[in-house]
Amino acid sequence: MAMDRGLLAVSSASLAAEGGNSSSVLTDADIMLRVKAGDESAFSYLVQKYRRAMVHFMYRMAHSPAVAEDLAQEVFLRVYRSRENYEPTAKFTTWLYRIATNLAVNHIRDTRHERQGNMASLDEPDPETGRSLDVADVKPTTEEVIIQRERLAAIRGKVESLPERQKLAVLMHKYQQMDYKQIAEVLKLSESATKSLLFRAYESLREQLKEFV
């Protein structure tokens, strides 16, 4: 474990230095194949490219910056451990988010009782910068602050109560900007089933939050 964790700190300088446009020509799948072949700088490149997105994704699931960091690190450790079995049959991001989703689902199930009464909102600040990801940087009035707090409290309760797959689909769609095809591949659903899943999730949220919309 100590050796694996040490790899997360490896610099990606050697990969970037191979030729100014090397990383722009290679796909993520190509770079992962280099990881498979033993190129640790290629692994570091992927970690640095996707680390923040993984932390954000896990923060939406775990609602704790520290836990999100740990879960994101675990995702990359699993990527590294699975390198020898990697095959570029799908986009690298699909494979990555499938690993992340499985880990997130297991975390939710294992800590469900701990999270009761300790939920956080999808609109809470970025765990790294402290800035809100969705709220404009405009000083609100006291009334607006109260309304916003009520809205966020309602959102966090309703999103947390969504069925597991609906919640995951909403997180990937709204916050990771993943399209229907990518989400479908991660959740192992058809594209039409994914569209239906998201439609039901958003309709449920819209109906339950209509007084705040």
Domains and CATH numbers, the chain: 1-118 (1.10.1740.10), 139-213 (1.10.10.10)
| pLDDT the model gives residue 128 | 47
pLDDT (tens, 9 = 90+) of the chain, 213 residues, equals 444 545 554 444 455 555 444 445 789 999 999 999 999 999 999 999 999 999 998 988 888 899 999 999 999 999 999 999 999 888 899 999 999 998 988 887 777 655 444 444 454 555 444 444 443 444 667 666 666 666 666 666 777 778 888 888 888 888 788 889 989 989 889 999 999 999 999 898 888 777 655
| pLDDT the model gives residue 204 | 87
| pLDDT the model gives residue 12 | 46
Q: Rounded to whole angstroms, how far apart are CA atoms 3 and 25?
A: 30
| pLDDT the model gives residue 167 | 87
